[in-house]
Amino acid sequence: MTDLVAVWEVALSDGVHKIEFEHETTSGKRVVYGDGKEEIRREWMFKLVGKETFTVGATKTKAAINIDAVSGFAYEYTSEISGKSLKQYIENSRDKKKYRVLSTLFSFSFTEKDTMDVWCNCQKMETAGEFVEDGTETHLIVADHSCCIKAVNSGKQKEGIIHTFIMDNRDIPEAVE
């Protein structure tokens, strides 16, 4: 990796992934690495600006690197995840919750807006969802314990949806780190 120009770390529901980008401005060569594995290699590109699209992680999340000329032979590199700038993606994914249960830290991501998948400790969980009077309930089993993620509207626009994690009929408070 001699022409490394940008590195990003992206937290997805299946873990944190490292994206690296090489760009050789004399030949136009572009190489994209995801978690150290070469994803894309293009040699002798005569157009030095543009966009490289690929997927990241086990979830095959759509990603892109934008290459824009700033001035002369100076370039700016920005990344996109799921069609959003990295900054927007990070702001939108703040609904990831952590709960300390039975002295084990379970990290849940249950707001995958496109799929509504539930991930626990980087593993996609088998779930059953249902609409209830005041919102939704998503049922799952974690380590032989009956769990439910309850989502209700806060009634306040800035707060949005409130998620509650219930294990064996007990509310589990969010972990404070």
- pTM of the model as a whole: 0.57
* Residue 1: predicted pLDDT: 53
Q: Encode pLDDT of 84-106 as tens digits.
A: 888 888 777 655 555 555 445 55
* Residue 36: predicted pLDDT: 93
Tokens of 108: 């849940």
Range in 14-18, 36-40, 63-67, 173-177 with the lowest mean pLDDT: 173-177
Cα separation, 177 vs 175, whole angstroms: 6
Pick the more confident residue, 143 or 107. Answer: 143
Show the domains of the chain with their CATH numbers: 4-88 (2.40.128.180), 100-172 (2.40.128.180)
